A and B are shown apart, each in its own frame.
Chain A
Amino acid sequence: MSFLSNLISGISLGSVYAIIALGYTMVYGIAKMLNFAHGDVIMVGAYICFFATMRYGMHPIIGVLLSMIVCTLLGIVIDRLAYKPLRQAPALAVLITAIGMSYFLQNSAQLLWTSSPKVFQSVIGNGSIKLFDGALSISYVTLVTIVVCIVIMIGLVLFVNKTKIGKSMRAVSEDKGAAQLMGINVNTTISLTFAIGSALAAIAGVLLCSAYPTLTPTTGAMPGIKAFTAAVFGGIGSIPGALIGGILLGIIEIFAKAYITTQLSDAIVFAVLIVVLIVKPTGLLGKKISEKV
């Protein structure tokens, strides 16, 4: 029974990683950049929700919506100020700018909200479902996280494949120049991608802090890196890949903690990633890119 309970908490943690990884993978697919500040947008989202619900006593749903709106705006502003001027610049320059943005968000958060940890009370409630005569208990947070992840994933796949905006997103990720010639506004599409990714980051932040209730300005950093590896693990640029990568990473992490050793769980997660990338160099669902001379 403990195996099943570990599996479920692994899937739950993996769902959070998957939601964060979606933000990475979409931005990478379209703008071909690693948005290092993504992890810190998660942290901002969690703080907004914390203040809305705990300080000002708003309803949790309003708190989550508010944090989504703030993060969406933040994502667009970051893109406009820092990344848009560098669309033609070399990839490393954009990477360093993203790192600068990440430092900026962390340190702003530290100034605004101090570095003392805040205790985040779950927006979902602390109850749990008992199955098999109480041998297996699943908390509401775990269930809601998994459900939210599935809903987001289905919604996003439909959005990208069925709507006009989704089609333009796919076109931009395929070939920016050709998309522009077809009358697609590339900059708006990229901004929209940042907006969606950041809104997802807000949800991930709330879910993450509901499960692991300590909130500090660096809360987003490590999950950010893990989600980034999850995105690469599944094949960066691929939406189903982010889901699979995220969930596998979560399961591996929880199993490593439960059955091998807590201290080395991160090392084991990364070791699995390396093995996968050596066997399949573009991730699980990544497209193979043939080199042209």
Chain B
Amino acid sequence: MKLKTMNKTTRSNMITYAMVIIAFVIVQIMLGTGNISSRLQGQLVPICAYIVMAISLNLTVGVLGELSLGHAGFMSAGAFSGIVVASCLSQNTSNEILVLVLSMLVGGVVAAIVGVIVGVPVLRLSGDYLAIVTLAFGEIIKGIVNNLYVGLDGSGLHISLIKNTLQMDGGKVLINGPMGLTGIPRIASFTVGFILIMVCLFVIFNLVNSKSGRAIMALRDNKIAAQSVGINITNYKLMAFVISAAMAGMAGVLFAANFSTVVASKFDFNTSILILVFVVLGGLGNMRGSIIAATVLTVLPEVLRSFSDYRMLVYAVVLIVMMLATNNPTLKNGLNLAWSKIAGLFRKNTEKGEQANV
């Protein structure tokens, strides 16, 4: 298929796929030739996880149009359930990829179930009230996981809440309350992260271009009009919300499997906000923007590490200035004008150059 004959959406989607693939290939080459700092190397899997988080949240915020402030809660639910499965499986099999894929599936399913439990009451609300309830659910999930104890021994899994009352003969503790997940099999790899991104992109692009996707976007643009043409609001809202939650769960498993210990408070309100920042900076409903924003904003604090003390301050200033520059009419027009002048300058130069050549 030729690039020019495709319709606009398909072309845009193809560019996004191509961008991810090219980025993957470049990083692989850099890894092969050793041109990548060890610190950045450690960031590769988290970047993949954050990208999946960003595009999945973009499905809720950008495509469905509902603000969610508790996306990290789904990541947490997925991460903790998935890693428990991974720990159990890795005792019986040594095939890391298989273990990772299975645990990701379990994490995704658990997060989807949590998504249904959260979504059914939450999606009746709208606007800021919905936002605050998602925030509340995120905090509840964090609170519960923070007090969860899970152990594994010969006779199976032991679970207790609030107090550590696990009665185990030998075996090992998998989730140790506030200490979080311990002894995680570190099975995450950059390649699996890349595949997860591609799969999620594929699902989202196809969803958005389907009948359901158009229904979801119609809901976002005008709820009453959508309702009057017979779109079932609750079903479609729940559908987008649950798919988004399942992806967040899978990203959580990927994220957790990159570290040997993960605490529940890692997935708190601040993480939800961080992901939301990726989505808004990248552009609502724009998956490519989310991917770029997630990558740049995860790498930025690492690059700024030489400033160490000032890096989060710079990050905050960048955030505010970016929002002002893209949303304030005066500044935006000024920037556009400046940009067109610079572009005009180059164009003149090249024209002159061409004339000289002639």
User: A90 and B147 in contact (CB under 8 A), knowing A101-B316, A101-B320, A267-B140?
Assistant: no
Give the docked Cα–Cα distance between A204 and B129 (Å): 24
Chain A contacts for B320, CB-based, 8 A:
82, 97, 100-101, 104
Let me know if A152 is at the binding interface, CB within 8 A. Answer: no
Residues facing B in A84-102 (CB within 8 A) are 85-86, 88-90, 92-93, 95-97, 99-101
Chain A contacts for B135, CB-based, 8 A:
225, 229, 270
Give the docked Cα–Cα distance between A281 and B125 (Å): 6
Q: How far is the CB of A292 from chain B (nearest CB, A)?
A: 9
Give the docked Cα–Cα distance between A282 and B132 (Å): 11
Give the docked Cα–Cα distance between A100 and B121 (Å): 30
User: A236 and B128 in contact (CB under 8 A), knowing A85-B330, A104-B316, A273-B133?
Assistant: yes
Residues facing B in A169-191 (CB within 8 A) are none
Contact A278 B132, beta carbon cutoff 8 Å: no
Contact B137 A274, beta carbon cutoff 8 Å: yes
Residue-by-residue, is A269-292 near B (CB-CB < 8 Å gives 1, otherwise 0)? 011011001100111000000010
Contact A85 B121, beta carbon cutoff 8 Å: no
Contact B139 A103, beta carbon cutoff 8 Å: no
Residues facing A in B189-245 (CB within 8 A) are 223-224
User: A228 and B132 in contact (CB under 8 A), knowing A92-B284, A263-B147?
Assistant: yes
User: A97 and B132 in contact (CB under 8 A), knowing A264-B144, A267-B144?
Assistant: no
Give the docked Cα–Cα distance between A112 and B283 (Å): 34
- Partner pick for B128 among A34, A107, A266, A278, CB 8 A cutoff: A34
Residues facing A in B327-346 (CB within 8 A) are 327-331
User: A263 and B129 in contact (CB under 8 A), knowing A89-B327, A274-B136?
Assistant: no
Contact A277 B133, beta carbon cutoff 8 Å: yes
Residues facing A in B255-283 (CB within 8 A) are 269, 273, 276-277, 280-281
Residues of B in contact, count (CB < 8 Å):
48
Give the docked Cα–Cα distance between A225 and B277 (Å): 18
Residues facing A in B77-124 (CB within 8 A) are 121-122, 124
Give the docked Cα–Cα distance between A225 and B135 (Å): 9
Chain A contacts for B143, CB-based, 8 A:
263-264, 266-267, 270
Let me know if A161 is at the binding interface, CB within 8 A. Answer: no
- Partner pick for B309 among A111, A278, A283, A293, CB 8 A cutoff: A111
Total A-B Cβ pairs within 8 A:
127
Q: Which of B223, B277, B331 has the most CB of A within 10 A?
A: B277
| Closest partner residue, chain A, to B134 (CB atom) | A274
Contact B121 A274, beta carbon cutoff 8 Å: yes
Chain A contacts for B331, CB-based, 8 A:
85
Give the docked Cα–Cα distance between A293 and B273 (Å): 33
Give the docked Cα–Cα distance between A108 and B312 (Å): 9
Chain B contacts for A28, CB-based, 8 A:
128
Give the docked Cα–Cα distance between A236 and B313 (Å): 31
Chain A contacts for B316, CB-based, 8 A:
100-101, 103-104, 107
Q: How far is the CB of B146 from chain A (nearest CB, A)?
A: 7
User: A271 and B140 in contact (CB under 8 A), knowing A92-B280, A99-B319, A107-B316?
Assistant: yes
Contact B328 A85, beta carbon cutoff 8 Å: yes
Chain B contacts for A108, CB-based, 8 A:
313
Q: How far is the CB of A171 from chain B (nearest CB, A)?
A: 22
Contact A278 B124, beta carbon cutoff 8 Å: yes
Contact B315 A103, beta carbon cutoff 8 Å: yes
User: A107 and B326 in contact (CB under 8 A), knowing A93-B280, A96-B276, A270-B140?
Assistant: no
| Closest partner residue, chain A, to B328 (CB atom) | A85
Give the docked Cα–Cα distance between A260 and B155 (Å): 31
Let me know if A128 is at the binding interface, CB within 8 A. Answer: no
Contact A277 B323, beta carbon cutoff 8 Å: no
Let me know if A261 is at the binding interface, CB within 8 A. Answer: yes
Let me know if B162 is at the binding interface, CB within 8 A. Answer: yes
Q: Which of A88, A263, A282 has the most CB of B within 10 A?
A: A263
Q: How far is the CB of B148 from chain A (nearest CB, A)?
A: 10
- Partner pick for B326 among A93, A104, A283, CB 8 A cutoff: A93
Q: A34-B128, A264-B143, A277-B132 are in contact. List 8 more A-B contacts (CB 8 A).
A: A85-B330, A92-B284, A96-B276, A104-B313, A107-B316, A229-B132, A267-B142, A281-B124
Q: What would be 29 A-B contacts, judged by CB atoms less than 8 Å apart?
A: A34-B128, A82-B324, A85-B331, A86-B327, A86-B328, A88-B329, A90-B327, A92-B61, A93-B323, A96-B319, A97-B319, A97-B324, A100-B317, A107-B316, A108-B313, A225-B269, A229-B136, A261-B147, A263-B147, A264-B162, A267-B140, A267-B144, A270-B136, A270-B137, A270-B143, A273-B133, A274-B121, A277-B125, A293-B224
Chain B residues proximal to chain A, CB less than 8 Å:
61, 67, 121-122, 124-125, 128-129, 131-133, 135-137, 139-140, 142-144, 146-147, 162, 223-224, 269, 273, 276-277, 280-281, 284, 309-310, 312-313, 315-317, 319-320, 323-324, 326-331
The 3 A-B pairs at the shortest CB distance, nearest first, are namely: A267-B143, A100-B319, A270-B136
